[in-house]
Amino acid sequence: MTERLEHPFIMDIAAGAVVVLCWGCTPLMKKQLGNSLGVHEFSLLNHLAVTAVFAVLAVYLLSTGTFNYENYKSLGRKEYAYVALTAVATVISSLCLVYLLKRRDASVVMTFVQPLAIVTSMVLGFFLASEGVNYLKVIGCILVCAGVMCISVKM
C-alpha cells in the first residue's frame, strides 16, 4: 500500500537536504579561505559577500512586488532586540568558527560543534521557548553526547 507524499513534505525534505549540504560544505570552504586570510579579515569578507547576496535578493523581491513591508511594521522592540542579538551571535560564532577551523581539521571541529549545537538548541528550546521534550528527544541527546565522547577518544 503506497501513499503519495504531500508536496509540502517533499519541500521540507529538499530544504533540509540543502541545509545539511550547505552546512556540511561551508566549513571546508571557510577553512580553505581561512588559510589565506586572518580570522577577522575572512569574516569581514564573508559577511560582506553575504550582504551582497541578500542585497540581490532584496532587489529581486522589490522588483517582483513580493516584498511585504507590513511584516516589518508589526515588529516591536522585543522582536528587534532578537534581531540584534541574533546578528551579534552570528558574528561572534562566525569569528570563533573560523578561528577553530584555522587551528583544527574541519571534520574534527564540525564533529563537535554541530551535534552539541543540536543538543543546546533542544535544551534551550525547552527552558526558554516552551518547546516540548519527550523520552525520544532525551534518548537522542544522550546518544549525541555519547557519540561526541566516542569521537573525542584518541586511539
DSSP string, 116-130: HHHHHHHHHHHHHH-
Give the pTM. Answer: 0.76
Sequence ranges of the domains in the chain: 8-103, 105-155
**Would you give the distance in Å from CA 81 to the centre of its chain?**
19
Mean pLDDT of 15-44: 87
Band (58; pLDDT cuts 50, 70, 90) = very high
Q: How far separated are the first and last CA of the chain, in Å rounded?
A: 48
Distance CA 148, CA 79 (A): 34
60 or 33, higher pLDDT = 60
Mean pLDDT of 22-34: 86
- Residue position matching grid coordinates 560564532: 93
Model pLDDT, residue 10: 85
Average per-residue pLDDT in the chain?
A: 87
Q: What cell numbers appear for 94 in the block?
A: 562566525
Rg of the chain's alpha carbons, rounded to an integer?
A: 19
Mean pLDDT of 69-79: 89
| Residue ranges of E strands in 16-126 | none
| 69 has pLDDT over 90 | no
Distance CA 152, CA 116 (A): 13
| 149 has pLDDT over 50 | yes
Model pLDDT, residue 77: 93
* Percent over 70 (pLDDT), the chain: 95
| 74 has pLDDT over 60 | yes
